[in-house]
Structures are given as C-alpha cells and as structure tokens.
Chain A
C-alpha cells in the first residue's frame, strides 16, 4: 500500500492504519478513560473500519445506524451494519427515520424544499446528538476521513463559509450541556486507506454509493484534490493539517456560537426552534396541504 513517502506490506499497513487512529485519539484527547462512546455507522468502509479499530482497542463503543429509507441502498447498508455487529457481539442501536418521523429522506427532502443531501446531513447530525444524549453517551464518533475533511475545507474556502470554517475540527467540544462532543478519529487517514483496511480485515461493507450523492459538489472537490495529490503527493494532508495548525486556531478565537435549547425538542440550537424541527414541521405541513388538496 503506497503512501506519501512510504509503502507498506499488508500486515504493516494494518499496523500503520490502526496506529494513525490511535494517534488521532490520543493527541487530540478524543476520549476520556472508560467513556461510553456512540459510533455512527453507515455500513460503508470508513465507519465500519473505525468501529472495528475501536472494538479492537477495547473501547466501550456502541454503534448507531440511521435507516434513512433510501430503497435498496438503505436496506443493504442496514444489513451490513447489523451483520458486522452480530459477528463481533457489539451493541448496535438502529434509528428508523420512517418509524420515528413518518418520512424517509426522499419524502422529507421533497416536502421540506431541501435537497436530499442537506436533509440527510441535518437529520443525521440531529439524531446523533439526540440519541447520544438520550442514551447517556458522552461522545459521538464519526468516520469522516482526511479526504472528507479536505473536501469540506476546500468547499468552505471556495465559498468563504466563515462560520463553518471556524467549526471544522477533528474534535468538536461540548459547548452546551445539551451538545454531545463529536470526534473524527479518521482525520489523519485517506479514504483509500480506509477501503484498504476494510478489505484486508475482511470487513463486508457497502461499495455502492448513495443514489442521492451523484453529482454532489463534494465529489467534485474530492476529484480536484485527488488530481492535485497525483501531481504532488501529500497535498491533501498538507492542506488539511496546515489549516488545523495555522488557520483554525485564529478562527476559533472568536469563541463558539451561543446555543440554547430548542423550544420544541430541547436540542441545542442557535435559533429559537432548531433546523430539524423547522424542516419536519414544514414537511408535515406541506404533506397535509397536499393530501387535503387531492382527496
């Protein structure tokens, strides 16, 4: 397995990858000793590889899978996640968006006027925090990797999303009693490395992509970064890690946004009513208006 200034045989690559995750966790102080953590697991290569490593480390890591109701893709994702948990005797929570809120992501997006990816991202962020809080977990762990973070950084810089730039970090600390800390232990490794790790560990993950992600802007950003990486190895790492070292501390100096409990659901928000409650309320209103106009 090739890497910037290095190449590994299979056994040493597994060691290297796990060491990078361990290093991310320790240097960024992602977990406290004995902490109960909730790992967001989609059934894809990154989240399953990460969960595997946390279980191997002996962390108290419960999985959380959100069934988004995206046809065969969601069925396969859920099945792979459940099979992974069963094979390892790991605890897994499953949240079904249709059962909980009466709508799948496609319906929710259409009825609320958001695009599918936006509705999905908002729903997952909301549910991760809510279910972690409800279950007494003190950290939510996600499988975002170096490529994800570099692509988001590029997108945020291209559009000068200053608020989002200030919040981009491997550890999002608890800045409100209702907000559970979020950590990303794969921020040091690429998604090609996650896929290689999953393959070499015999992890059966979903290879197919979410049908809603086709043409997404972050995929374009990843392609651009991969072209730069091909021309100059180490570019992605220098780009994202350089941001974390040089610019992120400056942007964070302004302090975190002021949060307070949502008037409807008690989840932390900068508004009076949180974005998730507004989205679901709008979707429900549009659905009922549509139903009443077409008896």
Chain B
C-alpha cells in the first residue's frame, strides 16, 4: 500500500494489507494524533487497508508556543 505522510511530507510503501491500528503502530504513530484517510473517506482504527490502496496519514496536533499559549488561530 502507498502511504502519504506529512511533517515532513513524504511517501512510503508497505507490502501487504493490514488494519489502520496496525499500520499506525508499525509506523510508531499515535492514533490520537493522526487521521487516516483513503480517498475522501475517513478510516476508523479497525478499517482494513488493502495492498493496492493509497492512504494519507494526516497529523492533527497543531500549534505550539513557548510561552504556554497555543497558536490555534
């Protein structure tokens, strides 16, 4: 399967199929901090991803200031 990642933006491939939760675990990515998307569809942690699929793993943690205030705006 082809996987698009961000921060930094990069592509990688994993051979075989697997559940979303397994893929995130293999890549060492926190499920609380990412969305997994196939086409226009948001996948849940138990969704199966096939070998031929292309998915995007999108980070959701944003902002960060050193004085404690977030920069969500």
Contact = CB atoms under 8 A, between A and B. Distances in A.
Contact of B66 (A217, A226, A230): A217
Contact of B72 (A42, A115, A161, A219): A42
Interface residues of A, number: 56
A10 interface: yes
Interface in A16-47: 40-42, 44-47
Contacts of B65: 117-118, 120-121, 213, 216, 218
Contacts of A208: 6-7, 9
B14 interface: no
A223 B45 CA distance: 19
A47 B71 CA distance: 11
A214 B61 CA distance: 12
By DSSP majority rule, is chain B's interface helix, strand, loop, or mixed?
A: loop
A267 interface: no
Chain B: interface size category: 20 to 34
Contacts of A147: 61
B54 to A, nearest CB: 16
A191 B64 contact: no
Interface in A213-267: 213-214, 216-219, 222-223, 226-227, 229-230
A191 B42 contact: no
B60 A152 contact: no
A170 interface: no
A38 B67 CA distance: 24
B23 to A, nearest CB: 16
A235 B57 CA distance: 24
B31 to A, nearest CB: 7
A42 B42 contact: no
